Chains A and B, each alone.
Chain A
Amino acid sequence: GQNIDQPTEMTATEGAIVQINCTYQTSGFNGLFWYQQHAGEAPTFLSYNVLDGLEEKGRFSSFLSRSKGYSYLLLKELQMKDSASYLCAVTLSGATNKLIFGTGTLLAVQP
């Protein structure tokens, strides 16, 4: 079966850095997505990793280690508007656009 684990909740302070981890156990892993979802809104795309290493996009970075089945999303210079759920999702070989999501990490940014 496929298994994706993320912490359920995290709390961080405005201006700080937070790392949200995601571990996965899947067969036929292809790549890993991170999405952000504010309450009552649609998920929005943040990043995609297919090769090992770090992908940086402004305040957000995502890391992947295929051999360890591990990824993290790093958020720098936290802002109140970053309070949201962060969803880790994997794609499998031969299953285009079929994303398997973790249950998400609810991040609360405090002043």
Chain B
Amino acid sequence: KAGVTQTPRYLIKTRGQQVTLSCSPISGHRSVSWYQQTPGQGLQFLFEYFSETQRNKGNFPGRFSGRQFSNSRSEMNVSTLELGDSALYLCASSLEGFNSPLHFGNGTRLTVT
């Protein structure tokens, strides 16, 4: 079974630009979550989608948004990029249920200059 696939692996953008990251979950997984990982803050929850609906949202500004398609694939968008948005963005998919572990992709490394 193929794992979680994230594209692209690396991105370099300039302040003020916007960026879209893509995530394909494991087949059969309907929940997709997004996390931001930085050396100082660790992994921080951005949002979670299930059946095309945002079910949970973290404490990030409105510049961070996402969506999920009918095939469970998900995208996240960051507008008006700031230097502090430089991070590893991880997508994770899971089956429904509290004890279902998250399966993470290898992430997209975003650098904002």
Contact = CB atoms under 8 A, between A and B. Distances in A.
A87 interface: yes
Interface in A84-105: 87, 89, 91, 95-104
B105 interface: yes
A45 B42 CA distance: 16
Contacts, number: 67
B74 interface: no
Interface residues of A, number: 23
Interface in B95-112: 96-107
Given A48-B99, A96-B48, A97-B94, A43 B56 contact: no
A43 B3 CA distance: 13
A31 to B, nearest CB: 6
Interface string B69-113: 000000000000000000000100010111111111111000000
B64 interface: no
A98 B43 CA distance: 11
Interface of A: 30-31, 33, 41-45, 48, 50, 87, 89, 91, 95-104
Given A42-B4, A97-B55, 10 more contacts: A43-B104, A50-B98, A50-B99, A89-B43, A97-B50, A97-B100, A98-B45, A100-B45, A101-B35, A103-B41
